[in-house]
Amino acid sequence: MISGRGAPTRRQLLSAIGMMGGTAALYAMMTEFGHAAETRFPGPPNLSGARPGASVIILGAGLAGMLAAYELRKAGYKVRILEYQGRAGGRNWSLYGGDKFTEMGGATQNVQFAKGNYLNPGPWRIPHHHRTLLHYCKAFGVALEPFIQFNHNAYVHNTDAFGGKPQRYRALAADFEGNVAELLGKAIDQKSLDTRLTAEDQDRLKEALRNWGMLDGDMRYAKNLRSSSHRGYDLPPGGGVNGAPQPSDLLPFDQVVRSGIATNMAFFMNEEFQTTMFQPVGGMGKIGEGFARQVGDLVTYNAKVTKLFQDKTGVTVTYTDTAKGGTTEAKADFCVCTIPLAVLSQIETNMTEKKTAAIQAVPYSNSVKIGLEMKRRFWEEDAEIFGGHSFTNQDISLISYPNFDYFKTGPAVLLGAFASNAGGYRLAGMTPEQRIETALEQGSVFHPESYRKEFMNGASVAWNRVPWVMGCCARWNEDTRKTHYQELVAVEDRIVLAGEHASYVGCWMEGALLSSIDAITRLHKRALEA
C-alpha cells in the first residue's frame, strides 16, 4: 500500500501500519514518532478478497450503512441495503424550500425557505480531526467550507446575570481572564501559594498573567485602552482628527461569573469544537448525497424492517414496503445492522439476551432544531456577527448564524434553537407553530429590534418525533459502557451492529464511520473464518 514515487509520507506509513497491525500497532507507531494520535483513521480499510459468493445485507442507508456497502462491495461481497426512508443519508440531512416533513404525532411542515437556504436538522459541523469523514468527502466529491464555530463578537445571555441583558462574548471572556489574572497575581504576591514553581518561574507566571489578562503595570485589571483592546472599546480607534479611541467600562465581576462565561469558554476549547471546523457547501445533506452517488444502486427504499433473524444458514430480514405495501423476506450470509438502537429495540430478533440487553440499555438524547428564515442579515448588518453562535440559558440554548453567503442581500436562515434535555422536551411537546413562536420570543433577547420584524417563515425538527430514529443519538455513560458496550459491538454469529451508537465518538458522523470500518473489518474476518 506504500505507493507513489519517492519515500513514503508519514501518512502512507501510518496507513500501511494500520492495515497490517490494526489500532494497537498504529498507536505504538504514532507514539514512536513522538506524535499523539490525532485520528483513528489510518486510511480506508483493505478488505480485498471477500469470501467467494458471500452476500451481506445492510440495514440502514445512513453514513455507517453506506460506507459498509461501499467498502464491502469493493472487497467483492454481494451487497444490498434496506432503508426505511425514501432517501439515503439518515441523520445526515438538510431541509430546503419545497421539502415536506411529517413528524410522529402527525404534524406536517412544508418548508418555505428561499433557494440556497437550508436547515441542517442533524449534524451541522465537522471537526478538522474527523479524518474518516473528511477522507470520504474528498473521495466522493463533497465540497467543504469553513464552519465558524467560535465568534468573539456573538452574545452570551443568562437570565441570572446583568438583569437578563446579553453581553458580547469578548467582553465577558476578557473580563473573566482579566479578573482571574489579577486575583492570581495577588495570591502569588502574598506568597501564600504552593505553586511548585521556583521564585524565578513565579515571576515568569506573573508576567504571563499580565500579558494574558491585559493587566496594567500594577498588575491590575482596569478600565483603559489595554483592557479595551480585548473587551471592545466604547469608541474604537478611527481616522483623522477625531480618531482617538475611548476605553469601555468593565463589567462587574460577580455578574461575569454568574453569566456562565466560563462554561462557554471551556466549550470552545473542547477538541470537538476547536478550529478549524467545516461544513459541506450547500447543506450537510450533501454528504449523504455523495455517499448515495456511490451506493444508491444498492438501496431498497421505503423498506421497514420488522424482523431480523439468523441461523446457521444465514440471515433473514423481513421488511414491509411502506410505499406500496406488502411484506418481503430477504436473505443474506451476513448482516450489518445500522438501525438506531431506539428503533432496533422494537424490532423482533433472535439475538442473545446479552445483545438485546445492550440494545435496550442505551438512552437516546433528544434535541430540537429550529430554522428561522429572516428577510435580511441583521446580525451581520447591525450587530457585526458573521457566523458562530449566541448562547442563552433559555430552552432554545443558542441561536446560530449562517456560515456562508456572508454580506449577501436577501433572506437567510438562522438556526433559532438547538435545544436538548428539558428544553428539548418542552419544545418537542409543542406544535411546529408553537415552537417557532417560542424561538422568536426567546431569540429576540439577542436582536430585539429585528428578530420578529424580519421573520418570514420557519421549520423545526424534534428528534424524538422522527419516526426512523426516535431520538437524536446514543448517550452512553460510564456504567452502560462498562456493562454493555463490548457486548453491543461484538459480532454475533452473522450479524454486526454499526453506527455512532457503536463508537466512543457518539453523536458524530465520524463515530458512525469509524464504527462501520471496525464492524466490517471484523465481519470480513469472520466471513473468511466461517
Pair type for strands 144-147 and 100-102: unpaired
- Identify the residue among 93, 113, 124, 150 touching a copy of itself (CB under 8 A): 150
Locate 382 and state its grid cell: 447591525
Work out whether 240 is an interface residue with a copy of itself (CB under 8 A).
Answer: yes
Work out whether 123 is an interface residue with a copy of itself (CB under 8 A).
Answer: no
Could you give the angle at which helices 131-139 and 285-295 cross, rounded to 10 degrees?
A: 60
Q: How many Å apart are CA 332 and CA 79, to the nearest integer?
A: 9
User: Nearer Cβ to a copy of itself, position 59 or 209?
Assistant: 209
Q: How many Å apart are CA 132 and CA 507, to the nearest integer?
A: 15
CB of residue 170 vs a copy of itself: minimum separation in angstroms? Answer: 6
Residue 225 · residue 247 · CB < 8 Å: yes
CB of residue 184 vs a copy of itself: minimum separation in angstroms? Answer: 5
Q: Which of residues 247-266 bind a copy of itself (CB under 8 A)?
A: 248, 253-254, 257-258, 260-263, 265-266
Q: Which of residues 481-520 bind a copy of itself (CB under 8 A)?
A: 481, 486, 489-490, 498, 502-505, 511-519
- Identify the residue among 3, 48, 108, 242 touching a copy of itself (CB under 8 A): 242
CA distances (Å), origin 281, targets 53, 118, 141, 147: 40, 11, 11, 10
- Identify the residue among 23, 350, 421, 483 touching a copy of itself (CB under 8 A): 23
Q: How many Å apart are CA 70 and CA 57, to the nearest integer?
A: 12
Q: How many Å apart are CA 117 and CA 94, to the nearest integer?
A: 10
Instruction: Give one DSSP letter per residue of 182-209, joined into a string.
Output: HHHHHHHHTT----S--HHHHHHHHHHH
Residue 520 · residue 72 · CB < 8 Å: yes
Work out whether 71 is an interface residue with a copy of itself (CB under 8 A).
Answer: no
Q: Which of residues 202-221 bind a copy of itself (CB under 8 A)?
A: 204-205, 208-209, 211-214
- Identify the residue among 140, 301, 386, 425 touching a copy of itself (CB under 8 A): 386
Q: Which of residues 317-376 bind a copy of itself (CB under 8 A)?
A: none
Which stretch in 117-125, 223-231, 340-348, 412-420 sits in contact with a copy of itself by CB under 8 A?
223-231
CA distances (Å), origin 303, targets 191, 238, 309, 341: 71, 64, 16, 17
Q: How many Å apart are CA 351 and CA 330, to the nearest integer?
A: 17
Residue 496 · residue 471 · CB < 8 Å: no
- Identify the residue among 49, 164, 243, 410 touching a copy of itself (CB under 8 A): 243
Binding mask 275-294 for a copy of itself (x = CB under 8 A): xx-x----------------
CB of residue 193 vs a copy of itself: minimum separation in angstroms? Answer: 6
User: Nearer Cβ to a copy of itself, position 505 or 527?
Assistant: 505
- Whose cell is 519517492? That residue is 6
CB of residue 43 vs a copy of itself: minimum separation in angstroms? Answer: 11
Size of the site for a copy of itself (CB under 8 A): 124
User: Nearer Cβ to a copy of itself, position 42 or 432?
Assistant: 42
Name which of 530, 529, 528 is nearest 48 in CA terms: 528
Q: What is the 3-state secondary structure (H, E, C) of 296-323?
A: HHHEECCEEEEEEEEECCEEEEEEEECC
Binding mask 167-196 for a copy of itself (x = CB under 8 A): ---x--xx-xx--xx-xx-xx--x-xxxxx
CB of residue 44 vs a copy of itself: minimum separation in angstroms? Answer: 14
